[in-house]
C-alpha cells in the first residue's frame, strides 16, 4: 500500500493542483489527498484531475481531467495504468468494490473509512469489461468482487457482462436505489451504500438453478392439465399445461377452425377461462356467431331460413358470452404483423389475465415475407419462449404443404413434414395434431374425421394414436365416436 506523499508524478504529462474538499460531492480533503484527486486548471479553466498509477503504485502515468461541462480529457498513457485506486490497497483480501467512476469509488471508500479496497474503471460502463479483464489476476486475489455500477440500463448491463469474467460464486452485484454511490452520499444515505456492499447478491446467469431451489416443486405430484372438450384427447395428453403450445394441421375445409371454435366455447362456458382469439381469416363478427352457435348448438353463421335457428337463442348466447367477460378478439384490419399480434397477446395476458390463446393461422404471419421458412422459424422461436415467460397456452393452426400422393382434402394422412415451417413447428410445439377427412367421399362413406396425435413431447406415449370425430349438421356440433383408440406407427418419429 503506497501513501500519496511517497508517489512521484511524471512532470512532462500531468497537471499539478491542490487537494481540496469537494463540498458539493461531500468528499473530504483527506479523501481527495489519499486518492490523489486534485483541483487544477486545464486550458485556463477550472478542472478536477484524477491521477492514475501503475498497478504497483510506482509511477503516475495518466490523469483523467474533468471540466465543469462534464467533458473529460485523458492525459498521459491510460493503458499503463491499473484501476483507479488499485495501488492504494494490498493485492489480496476478503473483498474489493468496483465502481463505474472515480467520484463513486472515493465516496464508497470514505463511507467505510478507507478500510476495504475500492477501485473504479477508467472509462465508465462502455469500457468496464476490458478494464477488469486487464486486471483480472489482481481482482481474483480477493474472495469477493462487488460490482457497484450505476443504477441505469447501461450500468446494469455492464455489471452482468463483467460478472461473467469471474468464476462462479466470486462476483456479486450491488444495487443502489439512486443513480450512483455519490448520489447516495450527497443524499445522506451512506448507510444504504454499506448495506448494499454487504447485501450484494452473487451473480448467476439467468436460467441456472440448484436442486434446493426446485426441490419443493419436484416433490409435488403431477396434476392433470386443463381438459379438452373431447375426453379422449384429455386422456391422451393429460390435459393442457400452461407454458405450452399446440399445433393443429389439416387440409382446407376439413374442419380445424370449427374444432378450435368448439374448444373456445368449452373453455368459456365449462372451464370459466378467459380466452384470446386471433383469427386472421375471419372477421370478429363471424367468429362470435360461430362461438355463440357452439354454445347454443345452432349454426348462427348460416342463413336462418336454411339452418332454422332462433333469434332469441342467438341473443341468449351472446348475453352469456358478453356477461362472462371472457372472450377477447383481435380485429386485424387486414394486418398480419407478428410483432403487433405478439404485443396484443402480452397485453391480454398481463392486463386481462387471459391464459388461453387461439391463433388461426400461423402461416398468414409469413405470407408477405420473401423467405417464409426463415420467418416461421423466428416466429416459432418467439412463441416457444413467450408461452413460458407469460405462462399461457397457445393453440395455433398451420397450413399444410401439398403432399405426394393423396391430397389432404381427400383423406390423405397428415404428417409433421407437411406443416409449413415444419422443422420449427416440430421443434417448439409440445403437441402436434392432424385432422383427416375425405371431403369427396360418397354417401356410403360415414364421413368420419380422424384425429391424429403427431407429436407428444410430454410422455411420447400418444404419438401415432388416433380417434374419430363425427359432425352433426343440424346442431353444428362435433363429437367423439365411441370406440377404442387406434394406433398407427408414426413415420415422423426421430425427425425432430
Does residue 190 sit in the same domain as residue 238?
A: no
Alpha helical stretches, state H, 352-421: 372-390
- Cell numbers found for residue 328: 377477447
CATH code of 37's domain? 3.40.1360.10
Q: Give the structural domain span for 451.
A: 231-487
CA dihedral over 57, 59, 62, 66, signed as positive or negative: positive
Per-residue model confidence (pLDDT) at position 491: 46
111-166: per-residue pLDDT in tens? Answer: 999 989 999 999 999 999 999 999 999 999 999 999 999 999 999 999 999 999 99
Last residue of a domain, one of 181, 202, 223: 202
Helix, strand, or coil (residue 257): helix
Give CA separation, 287 vs 188, 365, 389, 442, in Å. 61, 19, 28, 30
Average pLDDT estimate for 99-104: 96
Does residue 163 sit in the same domain as residue 287?
A: no
Q: Which has the minimum average pLDDT: 97-111, 215-229, 381-395, 410-424?
A: 410-424
Per-residue model confidence (pLDDT) at position 212: 87
Per-residue model confidence (pLDDT) at position 488: 57
CA–CA gap between residue 78 and residue 255 (Å, rounded): 71
Does residue 444 sit in the same domain as residue 352?
A: yes
pTM above 0.75, yes or no: no
Does residue 254 sit in the same domain as residue 124?
A: no
CATH code of 263's domain? 3.40.50.300
Does residue 173 sit in the same domain as residue 239?
A: no
Does residue 246 sit in the same domain as residue 177?
A: no
Residue 423 falls inside a structural domain: yes
- Cell numbers found for residue 309: 335457428
Q: Tell whether the model's pLDDT for residue 495 goes beyond 70.
A: no
CA–CA gap between residue 401 and residue 365 (Å, rounded): 16
Q: Are 295 and 322 in contact (CB under 8 A)?
A: no
Q: Which has the minimum average pLDDT: 5-19, 58-72, 137-151, 217-231?
A: 5-19
Average pLDDT taken over every residue of the chain: 88
Helix, strand, or coil (residue 339): helix
167-181: per-residue pLDDT in tens? Answer: 888 999 999 999 999
Residue 30 falls inside a structural domain: yes
pLDDT-above-70 percentage for the chain: 91
Does residue 467 sit in the same domain as residue 373?
A: yes
Q: Are 449 and 472 in contact (CB under 8 A)?
A: no
- The candidate with the shortest Cα–Cα distance to 155, out of 83, 99, 205, 194, is 99
Does residue 447 sit in the same domain as residue 371?
A: yes
Average pLDDT estimate for 26-38: 96
Does residue 323 sit in the same domain as residue 469?
A: yes
Q: Are 477 and 397 in contact (CB under 8 A)?
A: no
Per-residue model confidence (pLDDT) at position 490: 46
CA–CA gap between residue 364 and residue 360 (Å, rounded): 8
Residue 314 falls inside a structural domain: yes
pLDDT-above-90 percentage for the chain: 64
Which pairs count as long-range contacts for 18-25, CB under 8 Å and 24+ apart, including other chains? Answer: 22/48, 22/103, 24/186, 25/103, 25/107, 25/182, 25/185, 25/186
Residue 208 falls inside a structural domain: no
411-430: per-residue pLDDT in tens? Answer: 778 888 888 766 888 889 99
Average pLDDT estimate for 392-398: 93
Q: Which has the minimum average pLDDT: 21-30, 98-107, 392-401?
A: 392-401
Residue 139 falls inside a structural domain: yes
Q: How many independent structural domains does the chain possess?
A: 2
Q: Tell whether the model's pLDDT for residue 379 goes beyond 60.
A: yes
Per-residue model confidence (pLDDT) at position 376: 82
pLDDT band at 4 (very low <50, low <70, confident <90, very high): very low
Does residue 195 sit in the same domain as residue 239?
A: no
Does residue 175 sit in the same domain as residue 251?
A: no
Does residue 244 sit in the same domain as residue 190?
A: no
Residue 36 falls inside a structural domain: yes
CA–CA gap between residue 309 and residue 53 (Å, rounded): 89
Last residue of a domain, one of 150, 182, 202: 202
Last residue of a domain, one of 202, 223, 258: 202
Residue 13 falls inside a structural domain: yes
Q: Tell whether the model's pLDDT for residue 446 goes beyond 70.
A: no
Residue 221 falls inside a structural domain: no
128: enclosing H helix or E strand: helix 128-134
Residue found by looking up cell 348466447 in the block: 317
33-73: per-residue pLDDT in tens? Answer: 999 999 999 888 899 999 999 999 999 999 999 988 778 89
Amino acid at each position: 500500500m503506497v501513501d500519496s506523499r511517497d508517489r512521484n508524478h511524471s512532470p512532462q504529462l500531468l497537471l499539478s493542483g491542490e487537494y481540496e474538499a469537494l463540498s458539493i460531492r461531500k468528499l473530504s480533503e483527506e479523501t481527495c489527498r489519499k486518492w490523489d484527486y486534485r483541483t487544477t486548471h486545464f486550458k485556463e479553466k477550472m478542472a478536477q484531475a484524477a491521477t492514475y498509477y501503475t498497478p504497483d503504485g510506482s509511477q503516475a502515468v495518466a490523469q483523467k481531467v474533468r471540466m465543469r461541462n462534464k467533458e473529460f480529457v485523458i492525459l498521459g498513457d491510460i493503458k499503463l495504468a491499473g484501476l483507479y485506486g488499485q495501488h492504494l490497497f494490498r493485492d489480496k483480501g476478503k473483498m474489493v468494490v468496483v465502481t463505474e467512476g472515480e467520484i463513486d469509488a472515493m465516496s464508497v471508500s470514505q463511507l467505510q473509512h478507507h478500510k476495504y479496497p475500492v477501485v473504479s474503471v477508467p472509462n465508465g460502463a462502455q469500457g468496464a469489461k476490458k478494464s477488469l479483464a486487464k486486471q483480472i489476476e489482481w481482482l481474483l486475489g480477493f474472495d469477493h468482487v462487488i460490482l457497484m455500477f450505476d443504477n441505469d440500463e447501461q450500468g446494469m448491463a455492464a455489471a452482468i457482462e463483467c460478472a461473467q469474467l469471474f468464476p462462479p460464486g466470486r462476483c456479486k452485484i450491488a444495487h443502489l436505489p439512486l443513480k450512483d454511490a455519490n448520489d447516495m452520499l450527497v443524499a445522506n444515505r451512506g448507510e444504504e451504500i454499506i448495506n448494499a456492499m454487504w447485501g450484494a447478491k452473487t451473480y448467476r446467469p439467468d436460467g441456472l438453478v440448484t436442486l434446493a431451489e426446485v426441490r419443493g416443486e419436484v416433490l409435488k405430484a403431477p396434476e392433470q392439465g386443463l381438459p379438452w372438450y373431447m375426453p379422449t384427447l384429455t386422456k391422451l395428453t393429460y390435459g393442457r399445461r400452461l407454458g405450452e403450445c399446440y399445433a393443429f394441421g389439416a387440409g382446407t375445409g376439413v374442419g380445424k377452425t370449427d374444432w378450435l371454435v368448439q374448444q373456445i366455447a368449452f373453455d368459456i362456458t365449462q372451464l370459466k377461462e378467459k380466452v384470446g382469439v386471433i383469427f386472421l381469416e375471419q372477421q370478429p363478427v363471424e367468429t362470435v356467431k360461430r362461438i355463440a352457435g357452439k354454445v347454443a348448438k345452432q349454426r348462427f353463421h348460416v342463413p336462418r331460413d336454411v339452418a332454422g335457428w332462433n333469434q332469441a337463442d342467438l341473443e341468449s348466447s351472446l348475453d352469456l358470452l358478453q356477461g362472462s367477460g371472457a372472450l377477447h378478439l383481435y380485429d386485424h384490419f387486414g394486418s398480419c404483423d407478428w410483432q403487433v399480434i405478439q404485443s396484443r397477446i402480452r397485453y391480454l395476458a398481463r392486463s386481462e389475465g387471459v391464459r388461453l390463446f387461439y391463433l388461426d393461422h400461423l402461416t398468414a404471419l409469413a405470407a408477405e415475407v420473401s423467405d417464409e421458412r426463415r420467418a416461421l422459424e423466428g416466429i416459432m422461436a418467439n412463441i416457444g419462449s413467450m408461452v413460458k415467460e407469460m405462462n399461457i397456452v397457445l393453440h395455433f393452426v398451420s397450413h399444410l404443404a401439398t403432399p405426394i400422393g393423396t391430397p389432404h382434402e381427400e383423406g390423405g394422412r397428415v404428417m409433421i413434414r407437411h406443416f409449413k415451417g415444419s422443422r420449427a413447428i416440430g421443434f417448439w410445439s409440445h403437441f402436434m395434431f392432424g385432422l383427416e377427412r375425405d371431403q369427396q367421399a360418397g354417401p356410403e362413406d360415414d364421413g368420419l374425421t380422424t384425429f391424429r396425435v403427431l407429436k407428444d413431447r410430454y410422455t411420447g406415449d400418444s404419438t401415432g394414436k388416433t380417434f374419430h370425430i363425427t359432425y352433426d349438421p343440424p346442431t353444428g356440433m362435433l363429437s367423439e365416436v365411441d370406440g377404442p383408440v387406434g394406433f398407427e406407427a408414426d413415420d415422423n418419429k426421430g425427425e425432430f
